[in-house]
Chains A and B, each alone.
Chain A
Amino acid sequence: MAISLRDLSVDYNLPIGTAHALRNVSLDIQKGEMLGLVGESGSGKSTVAFALMGLLANNATVTSGTAIIEGREFDLTKPNATAPLRGRGMAMIFQDPMLSLNPVFTIGTQLIEVLRRRAPDSDRKTRIAQAEDALAKVKLSNPKQRMNQYPHELSGGMRQRVVIAMALLSEPALLIADEPTTALDVTVEAQIMREIIGLRDRIGCAVLLITHSLGLVTEHCDRISVLYAGERLESGSVRDVQRQPGHPYTRMLFDCEIPIDRERHADTAQNRFTVIAGELPDPRRRPPGCIFNGRCDVSFADCAKVVPGDYPVAGNAAHGARCLRLVTP
Chain B
Amino acid sequence: MTRSRRTAVFIATRLASVVLTIVGATLLLFLMVRLVPGDFASVMLGPRATPELRAQIVHDMGLDRSLVEQLWLFVGRAATGNFGEDVVSHRPILDLVLEVVPNTLALAFSALALALVVGIPIGVIAALKPGSWLDSGLALLSISFITTPTLVVSVVLFLVFAIGLHLLPVAGAGNPGDIVDRLQHLILPSVALALGWVGYISRLVRAALLDSLAELHVRTLRAYGVSEYRIVGLYALKLALVPVVSILGIGLGDLIGSSVVVEIIFARPGIGSLIFNSIAQRNYPVVQACVVFIVAFYILANLVVDMINALLDPRIAAGRG
Binding site for B on A (CB under 8 A): 53, 55, 83, 86-88, 90-92, 94, 96, 99-105, 110, 113-114, 116-117, 150, 152-153, 163, 166, 170
Query: What string of 1s and 0s marks CB contacts (under 8 Å) between B65-91 and chain A?
Result: 000000000000000000000000000
Q: Does B166 contact A (CB under 8 A)?
A: no
Q: Does B224 contact A (CB under 8 A)?
A: yes
- Given that A100-B217, A101-B217, A105-B238 are known contacts, is A87 also in contact with B224, CB under 8 Å in the complex? yes
Q: Which 10 A-B pairs have the closest CB atoms?
A: A87-B225, A86-B225, A87-B224, A99-B216, A102-B217, A92-B223, A117-B225, A150-B314, A100-B220, A114-B224
The prevalent SS among residues of B at the interface is: helix
* Cross-chain contact of B225 among A83, A101, A102, A150 (Cβ < 8 A): A83
* Cross-chain contact of B216 among A94, A113, A117, A152 (Cβ < 8 A): A94
Nearest CB on A from B45, distance (A): 60
Q: Is the CB of A104 within 8 A of B225?
A: no
Q: Considering the chains assembled together, what is the distance between the CA atoms of A90 and B220 in angstroms?
A: 12
Q: Does B96 contact A (CB under 8 A)?
A: no
Q: Is the CB of B235 within 8 A of A102?
A: yes
Q: Does B219 contact A (CB under 8 A)?
A: yes
Interface residues of B, CB < 8 Å — how many?
A: 24
- Given that A103-B315, A152-B315 are known contacts, is A96 also in contact with B221, CB under 8 Å in the complex? no
Q: Is the CB of B223 within 8 A of A53?
A: yes
- Given that A150-B315, A152-B314, A152-B315 are known contacts, is A103 also in contact with B225, CB under 8 Å in the complex? no
Q: Considering the chains assembled together, what is the distance between the CA atoms of A102 and B223 in angstroms?
A: 14
- Interfacial chain B residues near A100, Cβ < 8 Å: 216-217, 219-220
Q: Which B residues from 136 to 179 make CB contacts under 8 A with A?
A: none
Query: What string of 1s and 0s marks CB contacts (under 8 Å) between B40-57 and chain A?
Result: 000000000000000000
Q: Is the CB of A103 within 8 A of B223?
A: no
- Interfacial chain B residues near A87, Cβ < 8 Å: 223-226
Nearest CB on A from B205, distance (A): 15
- Interfacial chain A residues near B221, Cβ < 8 Å: 102, 110, 113
Binding site for A on B (CB under 8 A): 3, 215-226, 230, 235, 238-239, 242, 312-315, 318, 320
Q: Is the CB of B320 within 8 A of A91?
A: no
Q: Is the CB of B220 within 8 A of A94?
A: yes
Q: Considering the chains assembled together, what is the distance between the CA atoms of A53 and B217 in angstroms?
A: 15
- Interfacial chain A residues near B224, Cβ < 8 Å: 86-87, 91, 113-114, 117, 166, 170
Q: Is the CB of B238 within 8 A of A117?
A: no
- Interfacial chain A residues near B230, Cβ < 8 Å: 113
CB nearest neighbor in A for B240: A104
Q: Is the CB of B223 within 8 A of A117?
A: no
Nearest CB on B from A13, distance (A): 15
CB nearest neighbor in A for B218: A102
- Interfacial chain A residues near B222, Cβ < 8 Å: 55, 86
* Cross-chain contact of B217 among A88, A91, A99, A116 (Cβ < 8 A): A99
Q: Is the CB of A91 within 8 A of B226?
A: no
CB nearest neighbor in A for B230: A113
Q: Considering the chains assembled together, what is the distance between the CA atoms of A276 and B216 in angstroms?
A: 32
- Given that A103-B217, A103-B239 are known contacts, is A91 also in contact with B223, CB under 8 Å in the complex? yes
Nearest CB on A from B26, distance (A): 36
- Interfacial chain B residues near A163, Cβ < 8 Å: 220
Most B Cβ at <10 Å: residue of A55, A92, A101, A113: A113
Q: Is the CB of B312 within 8 A of A104?
A: yes
- Interfacial chain A residues near B226, Cβ < 8 Å: 87, 113, 116-117
Nearest CB on B from A90, distance (A): 8
Nearest CB on B from A108, distance (A): 13
